[in-house]
Structure 1
Amino acid sequence: MYETLCSPVDYGGLTLKNRIIFAPTSMGLPREELLARMRAIAAGGCAMIIVGDVPVQAHGFGPSLFSQKGFAFYRELADAVHAEGCKLCAQLHQSDSDLKGMLRYIPGVLTGRISKEELRPLLNAQVGPYITGLPEAKVRAITAAFGPAAERAVEAGFDMVQVHGDRMCGSFSSSVFNHRTDAYGGSAENRTRFAVEAVSAIRQRLPDLPIDYKLAVRQEDPHYGNAGVGESELPVFVPRLVEAGVTSFHVTLANHGDLSDTIPPKNHPAFGAEGCFLKFCDEVRALTDKSVCGVGGLTDPDFIEAQLRAGRIDCAAMSRQLIADPAWPEKVRTGQAGTIHRCVRCNKECLGGMMAHRGVHCIYEKTERKEHP
């Protein structure tokens, strides 16, 4: 019944056992709890896990590939995931947060004068001035850092790397944030330079490594997302990324707006439907023959099978659904789709848990604790 969904696929040069990928997610969990969660998702049958926000430099948000402790964590994670027959991808990124600028808000956050909801737009407002003012030499040093980071990722056991097309890549790509007047700003061709250099730095060091690219797309009518690539600019960005070495595209909505836009609830005014971001995949598919992975409120195996069979996407990525039920792929494979805990896209314990700094969880966890005290 789900022949395409359950069939192997060549995803950008990497053979996956089926078409289901765990989308990159900032989990906010302690190390042991995170390892257990990733192990459960791998054991549930998905083909690959993308580990979100792996910093390309020695210092950054998240475990560092260049520290003994961070490298050991990624090595342990790779071993655990591979033991379940699952591949592992490192989402390499550089933050676009102005750390010095953030300091001014710490007193307000500590005293409660600035709420968590108020803090995000304040930080987003700093992004444009920060990336616009970065010296060229520092920009080149950052893009060059993607190469050594990819090498360390491979040494740690990752099978693929993904360049995070949001964060600093996305901010350099965006005409909303990027107001530079040098070779990294102005035209769409110039604004793609940061991403192209990052991809090229990896390709020069690792000629055969599959490179995925999280292509963050900004919608203008109506406006959603502030970073990333405008829909009308995709014909400029996609060919240049392919020429630089990208072998597959993970296509989604651009960030730096409300988190409930990029992680939309069921009642979202524009993105409430199943497969809410797949229209961006259609636009990318028209521009390249490289593999395309779709994401956005995917929960229904019948819907996903239809999109895969039609050739609209090559793989389907999920985050909230695999947090709600890690065994989704295995249940589909073994004819138990009717027993899936379907994500209802309430955002209460996933996005809500992240915003409250208690980590990403699911409402089903509370139900399971009641059933199995």
Structure 2
Amino acid sequence: MYETINSPINYGGLELKNRIIFAPTTFGLAEDEYFEKIRKIAAGGCAMVIIGDVPVGKSQFEKSLFDKKGFAHYQKLVEIVHSYDCRICAQLHQTDSNMLAMLKYVPGVLTKKISMEELRPLLNAEVAPYISKLSARKIHKIINGFGEAAVLAVKAGFDMVQVHGDRMCGSFSSTVFNHRTDEYGGSAENRARFAVEAVKAIRSRLPEIPIDYKLAVRQEDPHYGNAGVLESELGIFVPLLTDAGVTSFHVTLANHSSLEDTIPPANHPYFKEQGCFLKFCDEVRQYTDKPITGVGGLNQPDFVEQQLASGRITCAAMSRQLLADPEWPNKVASGQIKEIHRCVRCNKKCLGGLQQHQGTHCIYEKV
């Protein structure tokens, strides 16, 4: 039973022991507590853990591969995950937030006069002018940073890198935020250029490294997501990214709207069903034969097995479900299905905890 879930797979050049991946997640926790969360997830039997938001340069706000302390942090994560026969992937990203513009909101955030929910639209409003006015010199420096960060990630022990196709890559891809008139703006080919060159910067330095791409898809009618790639433009973006060196795609809804859209609760007006983002995988599949990971409220073994066995997706990525029960893969493998703590997609302690500056947790935890 659940033969496909439990079967090994070559995922874009990387051998995985099964088909379950822990999706990149923001935790907002102290380092020791974060390490313990990752340890439990790796010990629970998933095939790979994706570490979210690894910056492609020095950073005052995030752990960076470019400084000694940050590099040691990532080495420790690699050591923890590898000790459970689990692979680990570094999600390389460049923020599209205008840091200078952000400073004016810092006092309000620190005094909690501005909540995380209120901060999001304020920062989103700054993205278009920032992306549209970014100098070519700065763009090239950031692109080069993707390559340098990938090299450092490999030195730290990561098995794979993922290019974060939302954030700056997604904003360059989107006409909502990208109003440039040079070679990085205008046509879909031009708007894809930043992401394509970021992938090439990695591939030129690391010819053999598996490169996953988090492909953020923007939907219209009804409109969801502001960054990312329009569904109608996937036929342009996907082949360009593949030719640049992408070996697999992690497909989801584009960001820069309400977090409840990209992390939809069970009562979401549109994305309430399990597998809510898998339709985007179907669209991407028209343009590539590379492995595809699907996400979107996945929690039921029977449903996940069906999607994998049919070939609709190659792997299934979960965040909230593996927070609710890190042992989901082990329990599925041993037939303990009734023992699984199912994520109910309430968003109370995961997304809600993060927004309330309490860290990402779950209602099943005692915190």
TM > 0.5 fold call? yes
Which is further off, 117-126 or 338-347? 117-126
Output the CA distance in 2 between the equivalents of 1:197 and 1:118.
33
The alpha-carbon deviation at position 80 of structure 1 amounts to 1.0
Report the 3-state secondary structure (helix = DSSP H, G, I; strand = E; otherwise coil) of the residue aligned with 2:214. strand
Question: Is the counterpart of residue 288 in structure 1 residue 288 in structure 2?
Answer: yes
Output the CA distance in 2 between the equivalents of 1:180 and 1:24.
30
The alpha-carbon deviation at position 110 of structure 1 amounts to 4.7
Q: Give the structure 1 partner of residue 315 of structure 2.
A: 315
Output the CA distance in 2 between the equivalents of 1:59 and 1:21.
27
C-alpha change, 1:24 and 1:300, in structure 2 (3 Å) is: same
Q: Is the 8 A contact 2:87 2:159 kept in 1?
A: yes
Which is further off, 30-39 or 322-331? 30-39
The alpha-carbon deviation at position 61 of structure 1 amounts to 3.6
Q: Give the structure 2 partner of residue 365 of structure 1.
A: 365
Output the CA distance in 1 between the equivalents of 2:32 and 2:88.
18
Aligned partner letter, 1:36: E
TM-score (norm 2): 0.98
Report the 3-state secondary structure (helix = DSSP H, G, I; strand = E; otherwise coil) of the residue aligned with 1:54. strand
Aligned partner letter, 2:46: C
Identical pairs, percent: 69
TM-score (norm 1): 0.97
Question: Is the counterpart of residue 260 in structure 1 residue 260 in structure 2?
Answer: yes
Q: Give the structure 2 partner of residue 334 of structure 1.
A: 334
Output the CA distance in 2 between the equivalents of 1:41 and 1:142.
32
Q: Is the 8 A contact 2:115 2:355 kept in 1?
A: no
The alpha-carbon deviation at position 30 of structure 1 amounts to 0.9
Q: Give the structure 2 partner of residue 3 of structure 1.
A: 3
Gaps of 5+ in 2: none
Question: Is the counterpart of residue 237 in structure 1 residue 241 in structure 2?
Answer: no
Q: Give the structure 1 partner of residue 325 of structure 2.
A: 325
Q: Is the 8 A contact 1:177 1:227 kept in 2?
A: yes
Question: Is the counterpart of residue 220 in structure 1 residue 213 in structure 2?
Answer: no
Aligned partner letter, 2:253: L
Output the CA distance in 1 between the equivalents of 2:151 and 2:321.
31
The alpha-carbon deviation at position 116 of structure 1 amounts to 3.1
Q: Number of residue pairs matched?
A: 367
Q: Is the 8 A contact 1:183 1:190 kept in 2?
A: yes
- 1:189-236 deviations in Å (ceiling 9; x for gaps): 000000000000000000000000000000011000000000000000
Output the CA distance in 2 between the equivalents of 1:36 and 1:320.
16
Q: Give the structure 1 partner of residue 30 of structure 2.
A: 30
Q: Give the structure 2 partner of residue 72 of structure 1.
A: 72
Output the CA distance in 1 between the equivalents of 2:355 and 2:113.
17
Q: Give the structure 1 partner of residue 300 of structure 2.
A: 300
Report the 3-state secondary structure (helix = DSSP H, G, I; strand = E; otherwise coil) of the residue aligned with 1:332. helix
For residues 1-373 of structure 1, the aligned pairs below 5 Å read 1-59=1-59, 61-110=61-110, 113-366=113-366
Aligned partner letter, 1:172: F
Q: Is the 8 A contact 1:60 1:95 kept in 2?
A: no
Q: Is the 8 A contact 1:55 1:61 kept in 2?
A: no
Output the CA distance in 2 between the equivalents of 1:248 and 1:56.
20
C-alpha change, 1:61 and 1:282, in structure 2 (3 Å) is: farther
Report the 3-state secondary structure (helix = DSSP H, G, I; strand = E; otherwise coil) of the residue aligned with 2:365. helix
Report the 3-state secondary structure (helix = DSSP H, G, I; strand = E; otherwise coil) of the residue aligned with 1:189. helix
The alpha-carbon deviation at position 113 of structure 1 amounts to 4.9
Report the 3-state secondary structure (helix = DSSP H, G, I; strand = E; otherwise coil) of the residue aligned with 2:241. helix
Report the 3-state secondary structure (helix = DSSP H, G, I; strand = E; otherwise coil) of the residue aligned with 1:364. coil
The alpha-carbon deviation at position 112 of structure 1 amounts to 5.3
C-alpha change, 1:110 and 1:146, in structure 2 (3 Å) is: closer
Gaps of 5+ in 1: none
The alpha-carbon deviation at position 171 of structure 1 amounts to 0.4
Output the CA distance in 1 between the equivalents of 2:2 and 2:76.
33
Output the CA distance in 1 between the equivalents of 2:60 and 2:248.
26
The alpha-carbon deviation at position 65 of structure 1 amounts to 0.3
Q: Is the 8 A contact 1:53 1:61 kept in 2?
A: no
Output the CA distance in 2 between the equivalents of 1:91 and 1:273.
27
Output the CA distance in 1 between the equivalents of 2:86 and 2:206.
22
Output the CA distance in 1 between the equivalents of 2:352 and 2:341.
19
C-alpha change, 1:336 and 1:110, in structure 2 (3 Å) is: closer
Output the CA distance in 2 between the equivalents of 1:82 and 1:170.
31
The alpha-carbon deviation at position 272 of structure 1 amounts to 0.5
Output the CA distance in 1 between the equivalents of 2:75 and 2:146.
19
- 1:265-305 deviations in Å (ceiling 9; x for gaps): 00001100000000000001111000000000000000000
Output the CA distance in 2 between the equivalents of 1:312 and 1:40.
29
Task: Give RMSD over aligned pairs.
Answer: 1.0
Output the CA distance in 2 between the equivalents of 1:280 and 1:145.
29
Aligned partner letter, 1:234: L
Report the 3-state secondary structure (helix = DSSP H, G, I; strand = E; otherwise coil) of the residue aligned with 2:250. strand
The alpha-carbon deviation at position 120 of structure 1 amounts to 1.0
Output the CA distance in 1 between the equivalents of 2:237 and 2:254.
14
- 1:162-190 deviations in Å (ceiling 9; x for gaps): 00000000000011000000000000000
Aligned partner letter, 1:157: G
Report the 3-state secondary structure (helix = DSSP H, G, I; strand = E; otherwise coil) of the residue aligned with 1:220. coil
